Amino acid sequence: MVEIKRTNNVRRRKIADHFTEQVAKKEVLRKRGLRHKDETVWFGLGMFGIVGWAIAIPTLIGIALGLWIDRNWPSQYSWALMFLIAGVIMGSVNAAYWVKKVRKGIIEEDEEDDDADSGN
């Protein structure tokens, strides 16, 4: 008859703890998914659009201003190019600000929910 080797209690406890951690992580993800169930793919694409417009608007304004200056006061320097670069930089800073603000809100919301779930 073949003898079956059983795992010792320490190894069994580690396996059970690992399993418990995995179940807890999946439960947290499930709860987050339920909280954000209205945020579909279209919501994500809309956020990409907002970031895109946050960069595009200052860039277009910079180009328009630069072309106007070039047309009214010609010089050896291209003001349109300089204001294009300035518009891209300002738009990127603006987009980074909004992304950081939204990310901070999401993190704070998750921390509040974690505190409520743990009973603190």
> What is the rounded end-to-end Cα distance, in angstroms, of the chain?
55
Q: Which residue has the higher pLDDT, 4 or 99?
A: 99
Burial class (CB in 10 A: 0-12, 13-18, 19+), 28: middle
How far, CA to CA in Å, does 72 sit from each of 2, 64, 69, 77, 111?
Answer: 96, 12, 5, 13, 55
CA 37 to chain centre: 17
- pLDDT value, residue 63: 96
The more confident residue out of 101 and 35 is 101
Q: What is the DSSP letter of 37?
A: T
Does 74 fall in a domain?
A: yes
Number of structural domains the chain divides into: 1
On whether residue 108 sits in a domain, the answer given is: yes
Establish if 44 belongs to a structural domain: yes
pLDDT in tens, 21-57: 999 888 887 877 777 666 677 777 777 888 889 899 9
Q: Is residue 24 part of a domain?
A: no
| Domain-located, residue 1 | no
- pLDDT of 49: 84
Residue 113: band (very low, low, confident or very high) from pLDDT cuts 50, 70, 90: low
